[in-house]
Structure 1
Amino acid sequence: MAITTEFILSSPVLPLVSITERLPPNEIECTHALCLQSDVRMFIVQIDPDDDVAEAELVALDEIEETTVLGETSEKVVYKLTVDIDESVSAAFDPERIDGAPVEPTTITPEGWHERKVFTDFEAFTEFRESCEDNGISFDLLSMTPDPSQADEVSQDGLTDRQREALTLAISRGYYESPRQVTTEALAEEMGISQPSLSGLLRRAERRVLTASLDTRVTLNTLS
Structure 2
Amino acid sequence: MTTVAEFTLAADEFPLGTVFSKLPNVTVQLERVIPDANGVVPYFWVRGAETDAIVEQFATHPGVRDIRAVDCVDSEYLLRCAWVSEYDSVLDALIAPEVVLLSAIGTAEEWTFELRGESREAIAEFREYCHDHGIPVTLTELHAPQPLDATQRLTESQRDALVLAYERGYFDSPRGTTLKEIADDLEISQQALGARLRRGNRQLIEQTLIKSRP
Instruction: Give TM-score scaled by structure 1 length.
Output: 0.54
Listed one character per residue, the Cα deviations across residues 23-77 of structure 1 (whole Å, up to 9, x for unaligned) are 354421123336x7796421112112x4224134432333322122112112511
Listed one character per residue, the Cα deviations across residues 53-109 of structure 1 (whole Å, up to 9, x for unaligned) are 41344323333221221121125111111123554327961866x6111112x2123
Identity of aligned residues (%): 15
Q: Which residue of 2 aligns with 1:123?
A: 121
**1:16·1:63 contact (CA, 8 Å) conserved in 2?**
no
Query: Can you give the 5+ residue segments of structure 1 that lack an aligned partner in the other structure?
Result: 150-224
Q: Does the residue aligned with 1:33 lie in a helix, a strand or coil?
A: strand
Listed one character per residue, the Cα deviations across residues 96-137 of structure 1 (whole Å, up to 9, x for unaligned) are 6x6111112x21234443100001111211121122112111
Q: Label 1:5 to 1:103 Cα distance change in 2 as closer, same or farther (>3 A).
A: same
**Could you tell me how far 1:141 is from its partner in structure 2?**
1.5
Q: What amino acid sits opposite 2:99 in the alignment?
A: G
CA distance in 1, matches of 2:3, 2:101: 12
Within a 5 Å distance, the mapping from 1:78-97 to structure 2 comes to 78-89=78-89, 93=93
Within a 5 Å distance, the mapping from 1:64-213 to structure 2 comes to 64-89=64-89, 93=93, 99-104=98-103, 106-149=104-147
CA distance in 2, matches of 1:38, 1:144: 33
CA distance in 1, matches of 2:93, 2:117: 13
Rg (Cα) greater in structure = 1
Q: What amino acid sits opposite 1:109 in the alignment?
A: T
Q: Which residue of 2 aligns with 1:197?
A: none
Q: Label 1:140 to 1:13 Cα distance change in 2 as closer, same or farther (>3 A).
A: closer
Q: Does 1:7 align with 2:7?
A: yes
Q: What amino acid sits opposite 1:113 in the alignment?
A: W
Which has the larger share of strand?
A: 2
**2:29·2:105 contact (CA, 8 Å) conserved in 1?**
yes
CA distance in 2, matches of 1:118, 1:41: 20
Q: Does the residue aligned with 1:144 lie in a helix, a strand or coil?
A: strand
Q: Which residue of 2 aligns with 1:18?
A: 18
CA distance in 1, matches of 2:91, 2:46: 28
Q: Label 1:146 to 1:38 Cα distance change in 2 as closer, same or farther (>3 A).
A: farther
CA distance in 2, matches of 1:75, 1:37: 28
Q: Label 1:27 to 1:70 Cα distance change in 2 as closer, same or farther (>3 A).
A: same
Q: Which residue of 2 aligns with 1:179?
A: none
Q: Which residue of 1 aligns with 2:42?
A: 43
Query: Can you give the 5+ residue segments of structure 2 that lack an aligned partner in the other structure?
Result: 148-214
Q: What amino acid sits opposite 1:130 in the alignment?
A: E
**1:11·1:137 contact (CA, 8 Å) conserved in 2?**
no
**2:40·2:91 contact (CA, 8 Å) conserved in 1?**
no
Q: What amino acid sits opposite 2:124 in the alignment?
A: T
Q: Does the residue aligned with 2:42 lie in a helix, a strand or coil?
A: strand
Listed one character per residue, the Cα deviations across residues 171-207 of structure 1 (whole Å, up to 9, x for unaligned) are xxxxxxxxxxxxxxxxxxxxxxxxxxxxxxxxxxxxx
Q: Label 1:95 to 1:89 Cα distance change in 2 as closer, same or farther (>3 A).
A: same
**1:24·1:51 contact (CA, 8 Å) conserved in 2?**
no
**2:66·2:82 contact (CA, 8 Å) conserved in 1?**
yes
